[in-house]
């Protein structure tokens, strides 16, 4: 069981945004834009195609450990710990001096592995908050905190609820660092100045 937790963290720690941006542009993605290692900052600094590749890889690194955890028959609480460690790995990767991304794509991958419909529900909630609040970080924070309650109300009360609660908490805590960040354009064009 602990082996899956370790694998989850190590998988999450694979900094695809850092590696791909270095390969394509020979720069450290953390030195520009938002400073985060993820698809959005990759798009900003290296272009759409590299960013799309990072997005798919980050989703995959969330999906794969949880898929195998489920196949191994781990209990729901242990799968949830594995999922939380995947997201923690993405946010604080051992392979990138613990300077990573925000964890949304990795968290999405964990939800896809458990029950794809819940991924779509949570994505819809995130988009709703982005459109209402007009601030991506705050929208992600509220989504992380409130998505488990929405799933519970919709009668998703199995492993998917455990996973959403665990990853949602990590995502919410991580996004507190961007609470005051100014956003000029949804998702793709962040001003790195703080209020």
In the chain, which ranges are continuous DSSP H helix? 2-12, 16-25, 39-46, 48-71, 76-91, 104-114, 116-133, 136-153, 159-175
* Predicted local distance difference test score (pLDDT) of residue 182: 65
For the stretch 35-72, pLDDT in tens is 899 998 999 889 999 999 999 999 999 999 999 999 99
For the stretch 89-143, pLDDT in tens is 999 999 999 999 999 999 999 999 999 999 999 999 999 999 999 888 899 999 9
Please spell the DSSP secondary structure of 26-61, one letter per residue.
SS-GGGSTT---SHHHHHHHH-HHHHHHHHHHHHHH
Give the chain's mean pLDDT.
91
């Amino acid at each position: 069981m602990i082996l899956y937790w370790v694998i989850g963290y190590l998988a999450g720690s694979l900094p695809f945004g850092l590696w791909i941006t270095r390969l394509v542009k020979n720069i450290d993605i953390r030195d520009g834009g938002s400073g985060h290692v993820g698809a959005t900052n990759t798009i900003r600094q290296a272009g759409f195609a590299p960013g799309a590749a990072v997005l798919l890889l980050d989703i995959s690194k969330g999906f794969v450990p949880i898929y195998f955890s489920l196949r191994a028959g781990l209990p729901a609480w242990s799968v949830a710990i594995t999922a939380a460690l995947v997201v923690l790995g993405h946010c604080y990767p051992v392979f990138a001096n613990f300077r990573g991304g925000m964890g949304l794509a990795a968290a999405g991958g964990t939800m896809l592995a458990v029950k794809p419909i819940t991924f779509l529900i949570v994505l819809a909630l995130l988009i709703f908050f982005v459109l209402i609040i007009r601030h991506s970080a705050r929208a992600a924070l509220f989504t992380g905190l409130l998505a488990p309650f929405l799933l519970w109300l919709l009668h998703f009360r199995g492993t998917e609820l455990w996973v959403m609660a665990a990853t949602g908490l990590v995502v919410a805590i991580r996004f507190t660092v961007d609470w005051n960040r100014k956003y000029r354009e949804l998702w793709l064009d962040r001003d790195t100045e703080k209020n």
